[in-house]
């Protein structure tokens, strides 16, 4: 009965910790999603900067997953080079160790559990009564409270384990017993699906003296290796960028674990035994330091060879996906700002492709039989499917951006349908009274393409959009006049009935095309958040 109670308490403590971590990271990602994206774009122009950025982002968001997902999306988009992405991943592995320090310095050192439940109450009140960022901050506070309440429950359970079973006497002299400890926490990390939960449970066990320092250090190595399984599972059936990112995780953690097992583990144990200053330190702090040194060791091993590392991975995992949709990765859904940004990029490029085709048709550089739009159609369908699977973001700004995205998809569909009747241009160009409108439209489309291809994307300037609005108004005003001209030519037998109908249809087509182009421009002027 006692064993069952301890087991239930252990499960409850881990569950509270995971729930608190989930609430905290999800709300922080919602608050900082856009800032996270902008940081990736602006502050990662070298592998070293990328590494430090990975450390800062992971500490701020308390989620190495958020960093990984951001990296996948922006590598595929071409905004972030893969060598810099490797730097981000290495940095995030270092940043992840901040959880161990937080637990060691706060969760196990101070009786923060006394204020944990009041924090949950404050967070819940803010979530219920406040809006936007303040409500998300409430979820962060509640998650923080649950996290430390879970640590307290976990520590109590580990004290019960220590009273019932003295695992600290488990022999660790042999290589086999050490490898077995690594394997135990490897499996534990996989089952918990969280390295943060695994390290917290391990530190709680050490604080309760259920295990000793040597066992704890071996378990930490196992936890770091166990995190690669999550990355591998996420990459199964995913994009090439996700597979490359998973490969970086696997190689980095496994190679670092080997060096840590052979060099770092014996070094720490020797220092703890023979250096008086270190021997008098709290073992929990020594474990937190070991965890950080583990990742720093990996950085020292891989950073000097990051260029060669990149070449090997690119050769082993060549790009296979469609050039436009390759970075619409399902894993980005957990950071809505990044999924939205990836979709925006695809849609802007698709819009550019449609405008480029229209310009070439109007200038007679190509004819309809020369164009295959199957890839464009497939891209639009992929984007629509990707958006259908995207859940509504918590952040109001992300919700607004998503709505604008959905509107942009509709307009792109309309423009794609306009492209089907582009042969009408030939009829317009043969009539002097009708050929001015398509030529005027070409000038505007060329200017739009210049803006669309700028990274980061600037919203359309007001004067440019106003010019397009004036062109639409002029085309509407001329429509009746031109219709009368066409009918007059038909009455005077200058046009056959069939030619008259074709010209009227061509006139409607160009007027509608100008109107649709103008609406897209107005939408992209409103979309301040596209960058």
**142-to-13, 23, 172, 330 alpha-carbon distances in Å:** 16, 7, 40, 28
CATH of the domain at 442: 1.20.58
Structure token digits, residue 245: 């990112």
| Together in a domain, 369 and 430 | yes
| Together in a domain, 25 and 127 | yes
| Together in a domain, 297 and 340 | no
- Percent of the chain clearing pLDDT 90 (strictly above): 8
* Mean pLDDT for the stretch of residues 437-441: 82
Q: What's the burial of 437, exposed, middle or buried (CB within 10 Å: 0-12/13-18/19+)?
A: buried
Structure token digits, residue 206: 């050490």
Number of domains making up the chain = 2
* Mean pLDDT for the stretch of residues 478-484: 68
| Together in a domain, 301 and 428 | no
In a domain, 205, yes or no: yes
Handedness of CA 7, 9, 13, 15 (dihedral sign): positive
* Inter-helix orientation angle 436-452/336-362, to 10°: 150
**Would you say 197 and 18 are in contact if contact means Cβ atoms under 8 Å apart?**
yes
Between 343 and 244, residue with greater pLDDT: 343
Quick check: 413 pLDDT over 90? Answer: yes
In a domain, 322, yes or no: no
Q: What is the pLDDT of residues 276-325, one digit of tens each?
A: 888 888 888 898 899 899 989 999 998 888 888 888 888 888 766 556 67
* Inter-helix orientation angle 195-207/175-192, to 10°: 130
Between 342 and 26, residue with greater pLDDT: 342
In a domain, 327, yes or no: no
Mean of per-residue pLDDT scores for the chain: 76
Kindly indicate the confidence band of residue 75, based on its pLDDT and cuts at 50, 70 and 90: low
| Together in a domain, 173 and 212 | yes
Helix ranges (H only) for 43-112 are 47-61, 64-76, 82-96, 98-102
In this prediction, residue 369 carries a pLDDT of 66
In this prediction, residue 79 carries a pLDDT of 57
In this prediction, residue 351 carries a pLDDT of 92
* Mean pLDDT for the stretch of residues 65-70: 56
Quick check: 30 pLDDT over 70? Answer: no
H or E segment and range at residue 439: helix 436-452
| Together in a domain, 422 and 507 | yes
| Together in a domain, 369 and 419 | yes
Structure token digits, residue 422: 């582009």
CA neighbor of 36 nearest in space, from 439, 394, 335: 335
Last-in-domain residue among 255, 289, 316: 316
Q: What is the pLDDT of residues 509-522, one digit of tens each?
A: 888 888 999 999 99
In a domain, 329, yes or no: no
Q: Tokens 């969760």 appear where?
A: 107
**Alpha carbons 50 and 500: distance in angstroms, whole number:** 63
87-91, 139-143, 168-172, 300-304: range with lowest mean pLDDT:
168-172
Range of the domain at 57: 2-316
| Together in a domain, 259 and 347 | no
In this prediction, residue 116 carries a pLDDT of 75
In this prediction, residue 531 carries a pLDDT of 43
| Together in a domain, 450 and 490 | yes
In this prediction, residue 530 carries a pLDDT of 43
**Alpha carbons 355 and 517: distance in angstroms, whole number:** 9
* Mean pLDDT for the stretch of residues 381-406: 86
Angle, CA of 191, 19 and 109, to the nearest 5°: 95
**402: which residues sit within 8 A by CB, 6+ positions away?**
336, 340, 387, 390, 392, 393
In this prediction, residue 491 carries a pLDDT of 64
In this prediction, residue 381 carries a pLDDT of 92
Last-in-domain residue among 259, 283, 316: 316
* Mean pLDDT for the stretch of residues 361-374: 77
**Alpha carbons 168 and 326: distance in angstroms, whole number:** 50
**Alpha carbons 385 and 169: distance in angstroms, whole number:** 56
* Mean pLDDT for the stretch of residues 400-423: 88
Q: What is the pLDDT of residues 98-147, one digit of tens each?
A: 877 877 776 555 555 667 778 888 888 888 887 777 887 888 888 878 87
**105-to-117, 120, 148 alpha-carbon distances in Å:** 19, 21, 12
H or E segment and range at residue 359: helix 336-362
| Together in a domain, 206 and 59 | yes
In this prediction, residue 408 carries a pLDDT of 93
**Alpha carbons 217 and 373: distance in angstroms, whole number:** 58
In this prediction, residue 395 carries a pLDDT of 73
Quick check: 163 pLDDT over 50? Answer: no
In a domain, 344, yes or no: yes
In a domain, 324, yes or no: no
In a domain, 531, yes or no: no
Quick check: 161 pLDDT over 70? Answer: no
**Alpha carbons 270 and 358: distance in angstroms, whole number:** 72
Last-in-domain residue among 270, 287, 316: 316
In this prediction, residue 409 carries a pLDDT of 94
Quick check: 368 pLDDT over 50? Answer: yes
In this prediction, residue 340 carries a pLDDT of 85
| Together in a domain, 461 and 496 | yes
In a domain, 128, yes or no: yes
| Together in a domain, 208 and 347 | no
**Alpha carbons 117 and 209: distance in angstroms, whole number:** 26
Instruction: Please enumerate, as own/partner, the contacts of 2-5 that have beta carbons within 8 Å and a separation of 24 or more.
Output: 2/160, 2/164, 3/164, 5/160
**Alpha carbons 530 and 387: distance in angstroms, whole number:** 16
* Inter-helix orientation angle 2-42/47-61, to 10°: 140
């Amino acid at each position: 009965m006692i064993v069952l109670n301890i087991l239930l308490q252990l499960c409850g403590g881990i569950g509270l910790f995971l729930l608190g971590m989930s609430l905290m990271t999800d709300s922080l990602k919602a608050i900082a999603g856009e800032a996270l994206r902008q940081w990736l774009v602006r502050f990662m122009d070298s592998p070293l900067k990328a590494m430090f950025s990975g450390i800062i982002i992971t500490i701020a968001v308390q989620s190495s997953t958020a960093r990984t997902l951001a990296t996948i999306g922006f590598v595929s988009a071409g905004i972030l080079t893969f060598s810099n992405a490797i730097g981000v991943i290495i940095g995030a592995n270092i940043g992840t160790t901040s959880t161990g320090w937080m637990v060691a310095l706060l969760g196990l050192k101070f009786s923060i559990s006394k204020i944990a439940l009041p924090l949950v109450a404050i967070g819940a009140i803010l979530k219920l009564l406040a809006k936007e960022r303040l409500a998300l901050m409430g979820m962060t506070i509640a998650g923080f409270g649950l996290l430390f309440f879970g640590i307290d429950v976990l520590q109590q359970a580990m004290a019960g384990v220590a009273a019932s079973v003295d695992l600290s006497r488990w022999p660790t002299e042999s290589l086999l017993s050490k490898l077995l400890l690594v394997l135990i926490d490897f499996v534990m990390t996989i089952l918990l699906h969280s390295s943060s939960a695994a390290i917290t449970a391990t530190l709680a066990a050490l604080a309760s003296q259920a295990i000793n320092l040597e066992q704890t250090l071996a378990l930490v190595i196992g936890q770091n290796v166990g995190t690669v399984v999550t990355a591998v599972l996420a990459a199964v059936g995913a994009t090439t960028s996700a597979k490359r990112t998973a490969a970086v995780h696997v190689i980095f953690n496994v190679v670092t674990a080997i060096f840590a097992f052979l060099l770092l583990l014996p070094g720490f144990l020797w220092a703890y035994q023979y250096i008086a200053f270190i021997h008098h330190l709290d073992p929990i702090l020594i474990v937190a330091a070991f965890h950080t040194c583990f990742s720093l060791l990996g950085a020292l091993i891989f950073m000097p060879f990051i260029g060669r590392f990149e070449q090997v991975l690119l050769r082993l995992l060549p790009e296979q996906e469609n050039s436009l949709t390759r970075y619409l990765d399902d894993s980005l859904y957990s950071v809505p700002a990044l999924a939205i940004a990836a979709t925006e990029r695809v849609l802007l490029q698709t819009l550019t492709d449609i405008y480029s085709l229209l310009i070439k048709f109007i200038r007679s550089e190509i004819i309809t039989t020369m164009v295959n739009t199957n890839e464009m159609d497939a891209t639009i369908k992929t984007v629509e499917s990707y958006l259908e699977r995207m859940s509504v973001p918590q952040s109001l700004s992300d919700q607004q951006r998503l709505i604008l995205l959905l509107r942009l998809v509709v307009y792109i569909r309309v423009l794609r349908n306009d492209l089907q009747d582009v042969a009408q241009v030939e009829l317009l160009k043969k009539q002097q009274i009708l050929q001015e409108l398509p030529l005027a439209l070409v000038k505007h489309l060329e200017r739009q393409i210049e803006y669309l291809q700028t990274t980061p994307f600037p919203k359309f300037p007001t004067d440019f959009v106003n010019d397009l609005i004036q062109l639409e108004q002029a085309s509407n005003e001329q429509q009746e006049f031109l219709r009368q001209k066409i009918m007059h030519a038909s009455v005077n037998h200058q046009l056959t009935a069939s030619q008259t109908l074709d010209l009227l249809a061509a006139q409607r087509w160009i007027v509608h095309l100008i109107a649709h182009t103008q609406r897209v421009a107005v939408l992209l002027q409103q979309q301040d958040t596209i960058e």
